[in-house]
Amino acid sequence: MGVGSLSKIIEEDPYHRERENPSSTDLRLYLREVDYHCPLCGKELQSRRQKKATQQKFQIAHIYPNRPTMEQYMLLRCLERLGESCEDFENKIALCVECHQTQDYHTMVDEYIHLLMIKKRCLLQTALHDATNTLGLEMEIEEVVEKLTKLLEPDFAELNYEPVPIANKFTNQELLLKSKISGYVMIFYPYIRDSFRKLDGKNGFNLQILSEQIRGCFVKMDGISKDKFLVFSKIVEWIKNKTQSSSVEACEAVVSFFVQNCEVFNEITE
């Protein structure tokens, strides 16, 4: 078969796709999953302390080649492939420049399977890491939720607020706050809602009443200052004190739940 038929085969195989350059976020993820070292030779790819990924000592390699030779295509066509297309995150890995060069021109069955197994291990480790991270916070949230359900009327009276000059208000901060809240809502809203529901109606706890009390705090504070960032932090701080939680993130997640649930900060959650 000649070059023409190879192009045709590649065109017809939906796994093949035009080359795409990784974004800077992708670059950081690629470095993180191999722990900043070339997974083939162990060479350091970039210092962990360096914030921005610069591709001086590393390159992003395709595991299954973007443009296989006919020989590679015939050898690799029946083997497992990672991702939906050769341009997916799953089919790429960070390698040092030297290993990438060798790998690019000499990928045969053994080299392919070797790198494929390395990548699979990276993907699994990242998934486990992310899962345990979320889990950790969920336990903290559960504690916050549980303690919140035990608060009494006078506790809410403590939520006093000192007015801040209007000059302290920044719209940039509101943007940050908005993405922060929607991030928490996206990940934890169902979890927090279910945690509250489990306790609803038990030992005198009523989610409706708690929601209205918290909503009342938002409205009251909002009337004093339009600085939503400050109002948000103040309520986070109050919950943190009341529940004695050691996790600011857990408290922020719970306050974000109320922001969404009570539709306070309308223009923010929209």
The CB-of-142 to Zn ion minimum distance in angstroms stands at: 44
Residue whose entry in the numeric block shows the structure tokens 């162990």: 42
Amino acid at 200: D
Question: Which of 27, 99, 185, 192 touches Zn ion by CB under 5 A?
Answer: 99
The CB-of-61 to Zn ion minimum distance in angstroms stands at: 10
User: How far apart are the C-alpha atoms of 91 and 68, rounded to whole Å?
Assistant: 14
| Residues 239, 144 contacting (CB under 8 angstroms) | yes
Name the DSSP class of 167.
G
Q: What is the C-alpha R_g of the chain?
A: 26
Q: Which residue, 41 or 186, has its beta carbon nearer to Zn ion?
A: 41
User: How far apart are the C-alpha atoms of 143 and 188, rounded to whole Å?
Assistant: 14
Count of residues binding Zn ion (CB under 5 A)?
Answer: 6
Per-residue binder mask for Zn ion (CB under 5 A), 13-42, x = binder: -------------------------x-xx-
Supply the DSSP string of 118-173, one letter for each residue: HHHHHHHHHHHHHHHHHHHHHHHHHHHHHHHTT--HHHHHT-------GGG--HHH
Per-residue binder mask for Zn ion (CB under 5 A), 184-223, x = binder: ----------------------------------------
What tokens appear for 50 in the block?
């360096």
Question: Which of 86, 96, 217, 230 touches Zn ion by CB under 5 A?
Answer: 96
Residues 37-56 that bind Zn ion (CB under 5 A): 38, 40-41, 43
The CB-of-89 to Zn ion minimum distance in angstroms stands at: 20
The CB-of-116 to Zn ion minimum distance in angstroms stands at: 17
Question: Footprint of Zn ion on this chain (CB under 5 A)?
Answer: 38, 40-41, 43, 96, 99
